[in-house]
């Protein structure tokens, strides 16, 4: 399935939530998706061999490919948004990186979203930044041998605690600064998060499109399907295309109706 010249993937952590998690892969395939992506699907930073087997089996049975996966981000339902910047969570993250590599080797996934983490008064912002930079370096080094890329994502202000990355330029300050010698790290261009924070999506897409490794699509306000909010999403996709972006566009939105009814903006398979 494609839209405005881009292959589309379905984020099964936000779509098809009417179904048990492992059943969502086949549901995405039935709707015409060949690609899927997911947030970290296990409760802790690691997974047993049996748990990974179930994931791989669900992908194969559904006939879909895993195009992107989040690293462990802590207790997301409890409000955490990443552990990379927290010095006391690096053992967890190291264990998670090993599990991510195992999943990647079995699924062919090559894009991996690493949430930075929220500011914590136990450390200065500079200490947390240094910790995050080393964590990102470790993650990038682990996935580099098989062509993997680490994605760094701004998040919406006011909805994600004291998360310090709010704009594309916040991420670029890392990528063009202390991480400038790490080639396999990229900004994750999420229209909901950037648009909600007042970023001009079209001009930013035009400026950065050729450098991006991944794009996620949702409207704002509300994070619903395209057309449910006020963002210029088609114009943004056209700007990305004109700028040279050639990757996947992920449907990472929270449907305002049941998932099947939320696809009115897409071509029918």
Which active-site residues does the annotation give?
153, 252
Q: Which residues of 195-220 are buried (b: 16+ CB within 10 A; e: fewer)?
A: bbbebebbebbbebbeebbbbbbbbb
Q: What would the two tokens of residue 180 be?
A: 């400038």
**What is the DSSP secondary-structure string of 152-195?**
E----TTTSSS----SHHHHHHHHTTTTTT-TTEEEEEEHHHHH
Helix residue ranges, H only, the chain: 24-30, 49-62, 90-107, 125-143, 168-175, 191-196, 201-208, 233-243
Backbone φ and ψ for 2, nearest 5 degrees, come out as -140, 165
Q: Which of 112, 190, 117 is nearest to 148 (CA)?
A: 112
Instruction: At 126, list the tokens.
Output: 């500079």
Run of H or E residues at 111: strand 111-113
Contact 79, 36 (CB under 8 A): no
* Cα 210 from Cα 207, distance rounded (Å): 8
Residue 150 CA to its chain's centroid (Å): 10
């Amino acid at each position: 399935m494609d839209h405005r010249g881009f292959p589309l993937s379905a984020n099964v952590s936000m779509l098809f939530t009417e179904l048990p998690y492992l059943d969502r892969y086949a549901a995405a395939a039935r709707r015409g998706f060949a690609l899927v992506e997911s947030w970290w699907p296990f409760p802790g930073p690691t997974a047993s061999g049996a748990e990974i087997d179930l994931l791989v089996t669900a992908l194969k049975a559904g006939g879909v490919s895993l195009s992107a996966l989040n690293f462990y981000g802590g207790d997301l339902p409890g409000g955490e948004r990443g552990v990379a910047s927290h010095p006391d969570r690096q053992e967890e993250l190291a264990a998670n990186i090993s599990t991510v590599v195992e999943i990647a080797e079995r699924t062919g996934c090559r894009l991996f979203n690493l949430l930075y983490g929220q500011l914590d008064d136990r450390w200065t912002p500079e200490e947390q930044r240094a910790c995050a930079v080393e964590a990102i370096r470790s993650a990038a080094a682990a996935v580099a041998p098989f062509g993997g890329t680490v994605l760094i994502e701004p998040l919406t202000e006011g909805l994600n605690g004291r998360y310090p990355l709010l704009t594309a330029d916040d991420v670029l300050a890392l990528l063009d600064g202390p991480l400038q010698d790490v080639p396999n790290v990229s900004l994750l261009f999420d229209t909901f998060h950037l648009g909600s924070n007042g970023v001009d999506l079209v001009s930013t897409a035009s400026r950065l499109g050729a450098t991006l490794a991944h794009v996620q699509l949702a409207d704002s306000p509300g994070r619903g399907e395209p057309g449910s909010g006020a963002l210029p999403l088609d114009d943004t996709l056209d700007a990305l295309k004109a700028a040279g972006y050639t990757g996947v566009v992920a449907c990472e939105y929270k449907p305002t109706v049941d998932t099947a009814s939320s696809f009115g903006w897409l071509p029918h398979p």
